Amino acid sequence: MVPLEWYLGLSAVLFCIGVFGVLSRRNAIAILMGIELMLNAANINLVAFGRFIHPTVLTGHVFAVFVITVAAAEAAVGLAIIISAYRNIAHINADKINVMRW
Amino acid sequence: MQISLQQVAFAAIALVVLGSALMVVTLRNIFHSLLFLALSFVGVAGVYLLLSADFLAAVQVLIYIGAITVLMMFALMLTHRVMTTNVTQTLGQWHLAPLPVALGLLIILFRLFVLHPWKLEADAARVGPTTGIIGQALLTKYVLPFELASIVLLVAMVGAIVLAKEDKPDGPA
């Protein structure tokens, strides 16, 4: 069997790659990609703990399904905001979008 | 320590996931990084299979690869001017803040969680198909979050349409 620590290590590294992507990219779609990587890392953790603590109750799976639901909603709304921003200011560079800055 | 076939499979899948995730955050061409994001999702589906989560693996392929990646591709095509490769995709000072933050978080996560002695062993008993159990849990114990999730999806759908709609100056307000 694969030990639990391997899964935790994989998800930790994946989460940190996502954090790096969110912080280092300027394209708003690339920032969303980093967020998706982080959500996937969290899901791996949920399912791994569920497998190792209660292999038959599947609470971790249910939570992972909810996380996937929220991730889909978040991607839809985020991309709609990005398209709306592109229509108004003709670029989607997150460091240049400052029309809401006072 | 004897290396089992599952561990070899895990190593290969982890290599795919982490390698393509690194490509996602470092490639200059945003379209290529989106394709590598899809590959990373495939790898995560493989991790679910190793954890004997067959339903989640299918959902991962359907939702993440089939819906979210395609949705992002649409958004990328609609904002096509950023697809040209000569646009710098990263902030100028990426090595100043993001890299130390990500590495520091990695060290903290490893110290706290990965190297923690969890003393948990998965029983080798084969877990059967999970779809029925998940369905029963969703409609009995977790029925309220289930309904809330449907409301969240409805609100997100309407919100996305309203946000992305082109406002015509003489159209209905």
Q: What is the pLDDT of residue B93?
A: 66
The answer to whether B29 touches B88, Cβ cutoff 8 Å, is no
* DSSP label at residue B65: I
Q: What is the mean pLDDT of chain A?
A: 89
Mean pLDDT value across residues B75-103: 72
How far is the C-alpha of B32 from the C-alpha of B23, rounded, in Å?
8
Percent of chain B whose predicted confidence (pLDDT) is above 90 = 52
Q: Which of B68, B102, B155 sits opposite A20 (nearest CB)?
A: B102
The answer as to whether B91 is a domain residue is: no
Say how far apart CA B144 and CA B139 lie, in whole Å.
9
* Domain boundaries, position B152: 130-165
- Give the mean pLDDT of B141-163: 94
Residue A81 has pLDDT above 80, yes or no: yes
Residue B94 lies in a domain: no
pLDDT score at A65: 94
Residue A25 DSSP SS3: strand
pLDDT at residue B38, as a whole number: 95
Q: What is the pLDDT of residue B130?
A: 87
- My answer on whether B17 and B76 are in the same domain is yes
Q: Are B134 and A65 in contact (CB under 8 A)?
A: yes
CATH (domain of B5): 1.20.120.1200
| Domain's final residue, options B25, B52, B84 | B84
Reduced DSSP (H G I as helix, E B as strand, rest coil) percent helix, strand, coil of chain B, to 5: 70, 0, 30
pLDDT given at position B28: 84
Q: What CA–CA distance (Å, rounded) separates A43 from A45?
A: 5
Which residue type does B159 have?
G
Position B81 confidence tier, pLDDT thresholds 50, 70, 90: low
Mean pLDDT over residues B100-110, rounded? Answer: 91
In a domain, B5, yes or no: yes
Work out the average pLDDT over B151-167.
90
Would you state the pLDDT for residue B170?
A: 64
Q: How confident is the model at residue A79, as a pLDDT?
A: 92
Contacts of A92 in chain B (CB under 8 A): 79, 82
The answer for A 24-43 residues in CB contact with B (under 8 A) is 24-27, 29-30, 32-34, 36-37, 40, 43
Mean pLDDT, residues B80-90: 58
Q: What is the reported pLDDT for B112?
A: 87
pTM equals: 0.90
CB-nearest to B109 from A12, A84, A92 is A12
Picking from B84, B105, B120, the residue at the C-terminal end of a domain is B84
Together in a domain, B135 and B74: no
Angle (CA) B49 A11 A50, round 5°: 55
Which residue out of A53, A54, A57, A62 would a mutagenesis test of the B interface target, given it has the greatest number of B Cβ atoms within 10 Å?
Answer: A62
Task: Clarify whether residues B135 and B77 are in a common domain.
Answer: no
Length of chain B in terms of residues written:
173
> Would B170 be classed as within a structural domain?
no
Do B2 and B64 share a domain, yes or no? yes
Higher pLDDT, B40 or A93: B40
State the pLDDT confidence band at A15, using cuts at 50, 70 and 90: very high
Please tell me whether residues B72 and B136 are part of one structural domain: no
Task: Tell if the CB–CB gap between A29 and B76 is shorter than 8 Å.
Answer: yes
pLDDT tens-digit profile of A28-77?
A: 899 999 999 999 999 999 999 988 888 888 899 999 999 999 999 999 99
Whether B59 shows a pLDDT value over 80: the answer reads: yes
CB contact under 8 A, B105 and A15: yes
Distances, alpha carbon B115 to alpha carbons A11, A12, A67, A72, B109, in Å: 13, 11, 26, 32, 9
For position B58, what pLDDT does the model report?
94
Which 3 state secondary structure label does DSSP give A93? Answer: strand
Q: Between residues B10 and B29, which one has the greater pLDDT? A: B10
Does the residue B115 lie in any domain?
A: no
Give me the domains of chain A, ranges plus CATH numbers: 4-89 (1.10.287.3510)
With 70 as the cut, is the pLDDT of residue B89 above it? no
Q: Is B8 among the domain residues? A: yes
Q: What total of structural domains would you count in chain B?
A: 2
Q: Of the candidates A65, A14, A94, which has an alpha carbon nearest to the alpha carbon of residue B14?
A: A14
What does the pLDDT average to over B112-116? 82
Residues in chain A: 102
| B173 within a domain of the structure (yes/no) | no
- Token readout for B65 is 């690869």
Percent of chain B at pLDDT above 70? 83
Give domain status of residue B145, yes or no: yes
- State mean pLDDT over B15-22: 95
